[in-house]
Amino acid sequence: MKRTIGTTALAASLLTASIGLPGIAHAAPTEARIDLRVLVVSDGGPATDAIAAELRTAGTPYTEVDLQAADRPTIDADFLADTVDGRPRARFQAVVLPNDNPFPSESDEMAALVDYERTYAIPQVDAYTYARPEVGLNYAAGSGYAGSVDGVQAEVTAAGKAGPFGYLDGAVPFEDNSPTVGESYAYLSTPAPDADFTPYVEATAPGGSTKGSLVGEYKHDGRRELVVTFVYNQYQQQFRLLARGIVEWMTGGVHLGASRNYFAVHVDDVLAADDRWDTVLKCTPGDVDCPEGEGTPDPIRMVPDDVDHATAWQRDRDFTLDFAYNAAGSVDTREENDGADPLTDSLVAARDEFRWINHTYTHAFLGCVQDTTVVPWKCATDADGETEWMSRNGIVDEIATNRVWGETNQLPLENDELVTGEHSGLWVLPQQPEDNPNLGPALADTGIEWLASDHSRDPAQRQVGSATTVSRYPMNVFYNAGREVEQVDEYNWIYTSRAQGGSGICEDNPDTTTCLPAPLDTTTGYDDYIVPLETRIALSHVLGNDPRPHFIHQSNLAEDRIAYPVLDGVLADYAGLFADDTPVVNLRMKDIGVELRRRDQWQSAVAAGDVEAHRIGDTVTVRAPEGTPITTTVPEGTLQDGTPHGDAYAGARSAWTDAGSDALTLTLPSAAEPETVPADPDAPEEATGTSPDTRVPEAVAEPEPIGPAADPVSVGPEVGAVPSGRER
């Protein structure tokens, strides 16, 4: 199947014959212009919202019409098409509807859409609809299946792999994250007799042999519809896996915006030692969560064997970790051991195996001066009651001294990157509601352009002095745990009620944290519960076109090496889902920062209406304000000034392009001729009755977190954070 859109032979013949088009009295005999924008007609349901979210995240412009809004525009011929410079223009390259016909019976709006789609060969996505002959399928009742598909393993068909879902290996697993929550509902059915219907994704009903389509293409009477018969929200893995293909199908692989699957992991505190959780005291001796003088510190620090393991692990998985280092850890160790520090020797010998980031010299807190005589700590104040801050010179010394040590040991650094200890210097609630005013000037003094922030408390990219923040996802693998039993014990302390022996933190913060039904077994809870949950959360970020890095600590690579099962889970699950041409993209911090900055510039230009893009035949033209990078996705073989455009990914090519003051002009390959769907003159009139209601499970329609650590993946948005004290 050819996967690009444009003016079909049908539309071209209509135009050439000067037959009147919608809103056009006398069409010129010329090829139509198709604007690179999607029309999303929403009824407020989760499926259309999910597709809109995919377009928004990728940077693909769309216009949303809310059917529930009293002041919404009327979808008629003038809304859909007009002329520009005497050329017929289709305002939208694709149409997304909640179902195949969300309008009342005999609706003029649906008739206008049908006419528009036929005339300009515009594809239509039925975001979630009932299986029946009107969409090319037999009724699900009787011969098919209608019901829950929680835990079902769907498969991409041969046609799907050859078409819009070729970036997948084949398996499309449906989530089943809770035995008590209905998460997915579907209508499984086979193509109706004589219907030109091609299944792209199929599944077999639970506990039976009934097999039917979940996603397929229905061609009829000059139109093409992508028929989706399962319900989803934007966070569910099954949608995340198929979202790229839905967009590629509706745009024919020619659209603004781009989507890739990113995964980066920062390992903080390298060279230093991390304090250890005390399973008896239920706090961390030497840290601020333990009363002063309580317990005996027993720090966790990597050894040379851990370096060898990390090096071999990276090579086996073709993946690079980012090591954020504190040089004082090495200097102090040598002073205490007559110059010996085997860990540093091993790391320096293997320095080119890793990416390195300045994490300050001593891991000092760079915000307010902390008063740790109370728990939780508070900001110290002077005699006038003013907050006392780490000085500008103190911050500069922390950055510069660590940098000099790294350069002396020939670490492959990028000197404009910085991770401060505990992301300190930036605001942290409730104690420090503003940035240290000395932080920005100190960053400028030391040439820092990219500064890490904690996504759970400071997610938006922002400017701090000379630096732009790059938010990082905290993994719920604790900094103060080197052994599984410590991790599980602390996890139970945070995520169980007081009645079950926990701290009650989960009870006190129900909006961000869900209590466990019972404490985890300390011998099996890590592998059986924490690893699958953390794997799923991290993988959801990877599948969400989200480049932000995750962070753990050097303690998690030591002793029981508890980080690796989670990292292996993410990479192994990913490898089992995606084809070889769709690898994980593993960027360093500054490149992630650039990607996020470009997205922000692009989204601002799109929102302001300053981006204009269209296709005429095999030529794509994009204009954006000077200085705004342009993001595009196009088929293989597309040329820019005679050379291939962009980089290959997922069977397509995508790129950021700085066009300056000029328009970006791309020439599509000859193979990208649009597919013609001939109209059948003997076909009956299109059905204009509204589509039947479809079943939407409560968990899909009303997203909410269902597990500890604010699980965002299954049925709701990410609303939680790693509790205070879990990050160092």
pLDDT tens figures, 305-333: 999 999 999 999 999 999 999 999 999 99
- 442: tokens are 């100190």
pLDDT at 693: 80
| Local confidence band at 17 (pLDDT 50, 70, 90 cut-offs) | very low
Mean pLDDT of 698-718: 46
Alpha-helical runs (H) found in 257-322: 304-317
The whole-angstrom distance between residue 43's C-alpha and the CA centroid of its chain comes to 24
pLDDT at 142: 82
Alpha-helical runs (H) found in 465-549: 484-495, 505-508, 525, 531-543
Whether residue 719 is predicted with pLDDT greater than 60 in this model: the reply is no
Secondary structure (3-state) at 405: helix
Domain contains 91: yes
d(CA 66, CA 51): 14
Domain residues for the domain of 155 are 9-261+675-680+687-701
Domain contains 45: yes
Beta strands in 236-350 (DSSP E): 255-256, 265-270, 322-325
pLDDT at 607: 97
Mean pLDDT of 643-655: 97
Domain contains 142: yes
Query: What percentage of the chain exceeds 90 in pLDDT?
Result: 83
Check: CB of residue 562 under 8 Å from CB of residue 483: yes
Check: CB of residue 710 under 8 Å from CB of residue 720: yes
Whether residue 709 is predicted with pLDDT greater than 50 in this model: the reply is no
Whether residue 703 is predicted with pLDDT greater than 70 in this model: the reply is no
**The residue to which tokens 């500064």 are assigned:** 451
Domain contains 278: no
β-bridge partners, 452: 470
Whether residue 386 is predicted with pLDDT greater than 70 in this model: the reply is yes
Check: CB of residue 453 under 8 Å from CB of residue 417: no
Beta strands in 8-72 (DSSP E): 33-35, 38-42, 62-66
Dihedral (CA of 498, 504, 508, 510) sign:
negative
Whether residue 290 is predicted with pLDDT greater than 90 in this model: the reply is no
Mean pLDDT of the chain: 91
Domain contains 192: yes
| Local confidence band at 521 (pLDDT 50, 70, 90 cut-offs) | very high
Degrees to nearest 5, angle at CA 287 with 286 and 292: 65
Please indicate whether residue 673 or residue 142 has the higher confidence score (pLDDT). Answer: 142
Domain contains 637: no
For the domain that residue 232 is a member of, what is the CATH number?
A: 3.40.50.880
Closest CA to 419 of 351, 501, 369, 474: 474
**The residue to which tokens 């006398």 are assigned:** 26
Pairing of strands 643-644, 639-640: antiparallel
Beta strands in 296-426 (DSSP E): 322-325, 355-358, 370-371, 378-379, 413-418
The type of residue at 520 is: L
* Overall number of domains in the chain: 1
Mean pLDDT of 35-42: 98
Please indicate whether residue 706 or residue 669 has the higher confidence score (pLDDT). Answer: 669
pLDDT at 728: 64
- 42: tokens are 């929403």
pLDDT tens figures, 148-165: 999 999 999 999 999 999
Q: Provide the terminal-to-terminal Cα distance of the chain, rounded to the nearest Å.
A: 53
The type of residue at 536 is: R
Whether residue 21 is predicted with pLDDT greater than 60 in this model: the reply is no
Secondary structure (3-state) at 526: helix
pLDDT at 512: 85
pLDDT tens figures, 650-661: 999 999 999 888
Mean pLDDT of 675-695: 67
Degrees to nearest 5, angle at CA 515 with 514 and 518: 145
| Local confidence band at 726 (pLDDT 50, 70, 90 cut-offs) | low
pLDDT tens figures, 566-611: 999 999 999 999 999 999 999 999 999 999 999 999 999 999 999 9
Contacts (Cβ under 8 Å, ≥6 apart) of 122: 5, 34, 90, 92, 93, 94, 95, 116
d(CA 318, CA 545): 20
| Local confidence band at 25 (pLDDT 50, 70, 90 cut-offs) | very low
pLDDT tens figures, 446-493: 999 999 999 999 999 999 999 999 999 999 999 999 999 999 999 999
Q: Which of 172-181, 408-417, 549-558, 691-700 has the least mean pLDDT?
A: 691-700
Enter the pTM of the model. Answer: 0.92
- 358: tokens are 């300045």
d(CA 453, CA 43): 37
pLDDT at 673: 60
pLDDT at 188: 97
Mean pLDDT of 183-197: 97
Whether residue 375 is predicted with pLDDT greater than 90 in this model: the reply is no
Residues comprising the chain, all counted? 728
Mean pLDDT of 246-252: 98
Whether residue 39 is predicted with pLDDT greater than 50 in this model: the reply is yes
Domain contains 437: no
Q: Report the b/e string of 160-183 with b at 16+ CB within 10 A.
A: bbebbbbbbebebbbbbbeeebbb
Other CB atoms within 10 A of residue 227 CB: 29
Domain contains 354: no
